[in-house]
Structure 1
């Protein structure tokens, strides 16, 4: 098969591992910078142009779309979908996962455990909102933040009010969440591929830091998920519409509490912790579904 990896940086670990896995399975692979793609839109003739050529020969794409370019990246993925190319991450699911508020609403409707969360208009009373999630300390998050950026721990009510007012002063959209003390600075990342957990790790924040992201100095160790945790991860990915997802959960007395469903989860930390060939599992998933899509497409054209 001809497979395109949509990535802005061909030197990233995840991009390199996916390329390596594609080639290992005998596929022709090309890394495409989605921000340099041009979308040609015409009646019944969608085309993606890249460096002066038409990208009309791919059987599948594996999107690695950064949060800062979600809008354009999703448009490129959608264009390939209109061309009947299989996408490992669907455009609508990508957009849905990047909207933290919408994702939490979807997960809440599905009956999954979540930290107590408040979303409010700029005019709402900050003190009442802090009390509603159990009081300080509280976590305050920018809706568009990623990799721990735009996430603040306010230790007391006065600090929380100041942070909320500062964000509101620049018209930044935020959510306020309870601080789950029993998690002790740790969270769980479950990596889901095609409805199955293929690897899981526990991430522990470094001393003095409450964010467990590996980019922020957290350390990871492989863990075996409980049946409840595994069910929560698989259900969360399914409800958001992602066939490939990194589901982040906090351990709590109430069971696993989902904090995010990531549509472009990194491979480096999870592969290092679990020693599992996650990239290979992604490629096998692409092979399975791209082949089905090609057979259906050939039947329609016959």
Structure 2
């Protein structure tokens, strides 16, 4: 009997990339003998009451053998897990990956290479931002230029490069009340990084991204892509980072530091179209194969 799956994406997000990722997974599943249905997260509502946890569905969906969760709706992912369904990636891994502060803490706990990082203390609206006396400690520790990164964000849009104390204080004021970090700027990786797609215990594809006029190397910000052959050390770090976060599959971004590869980010919901366009390797095939092996073991 053919195994069945759900591929859950966020139907509220604009653009084709989110559906495209789901379709790539669905096509890979079909080629490997599995029937997978693409479902928007607002078509399945998590229902709670005193007697049970359940789902409210817009139409009749039979329970699947597996769920490929391509969104960050961790409450829905966790509800599906509580109902006994096999979810890839799991809710805890998605939540940890989505929160950059928590992710860096976990990576540091596992003694993996990350940029030197200071977590901004939590403050409330009653706190006078002009009294950011601790800014001097941050400057002394990290120097300039410096990266400021919000805990939650995508496509590099919540990452900022500051060159001096005035710019630092202005950005701190703008982010007043949000969770963010101060981070060492890896000058040797200005405008370039590598994305390694990890599935289970292997790196299945990798690409180098380079931007001419931006310190970030996001393709959505105009960076160019080229196929990349990662070293043994780069592969080991990427796989260890994915395991530390708890992902079954992830896009791991590494920076080029003088000391060696440094982890920039672990993306539990990394889109794979650009990787495919660059390398001709379809990571969806590896992801589906991994999932089907695990539900059968």
- Of the structure 1 ranges 16-25 and 229-238, higher mean CA displacement relative to structure 2 is found in 16-25
> Taking structure 1 as reference, are residues 124 and 232 closer, same or farther at Cα in structure 2, changes over 3 Å only?
farther
Aligned partners of 2:101 and 2:180 also within 8 Å: no
Counterpart in the other structure of 1:60: 66
Q: Distance in 2 between matches of 1:226 and 1:158?
A: 40
Residues 256-287 of structure 1: CA deviation (Å, up to 9, x unaligned) = 11111111001111111221121111110111
Contact 2:190 2:216 in 1 (8 A): no
The worse-fitting range, judged by mean Cα deviation, of 100-109 and 76-85 is 76-85
Q: Deviations over 1:222-242 (max 9, x none)?
A: 111111111110000001100
Deviant stretches of 4+, over 3 Å: 41-46
Counterpart of 1:25 in structure 2 is 32
Q: Tell me which residue corresponds to 2:92.
A: 92
Q: CA shift at 1:248, angstroms? A: 0.9
Q: Distance in 1 between matches of 2:43 and 2:97?
A: 23
Stretches of structure 2 lacking an aligned partner (at least 5 in a row):
124-131
Give secondary structure in 2 for the equivalent of 1:6. Answer: strand
* Contact residue 186 and residue 204 of structure 1 kept, 8 A: yes
Count of residues paired in the alignment: 281
Aligned with 2:278 (options 273, 289, 298):
273
In structure 2, distance between residues paired with 1:160 and 1:124:
12
Which shows bigger deviation, 27-36 or 276-285?
A: 27-36
Q: List per-residue Cα deviations over 1:66-99 (Å, max 9, x = no partner).
A: xxxx3xx212112222232211201111111111
Aligned counterpart in structure 1 of residue 47 of structure 2, from 40, 48, 67: 40
Report the counterpart of residue 174 of structure 1 in structure 2. Answer: 180
Query: Take 2:290 and 2:52, find their aligned partners in 1: how far apart are those partners?
Result: 28
Please report the TM-score for the alignment, with normalisation by the length of structure 1.
0.87
Distance 2:33 2:55 in 1: 25
Kept in 2: contact 1:136–1:160 (CA 8 A): no
Instruction: Give 5+ residue unaligned stretches, structure 1.
Output: 293-302
Query: Partner residue of 1:296?
Result: none
User: 2:134 aligned with 1:125, yes or no?
Assistant: yes
Q: Give the Cα separation in 1 of the matches to 2:31 and 2:55.
A: 27
Does residue 1:155 correspond to 2:163, yes or no?
yes
Q: Which residues in structure 2 correspond to 1:1-302 (within 5 Å)?
A: 1-9=3-11, 11=16, 12-41=19-48, 46-53=53-60, 55-65=61-71, 70=72, 73-121=73-121, 122=123, 123-133=132-142, 135-168=143-176, 171-205=177-211, 207-292=212-297
After alignment, is 9-18 or 233-242 more displaced? 9-18
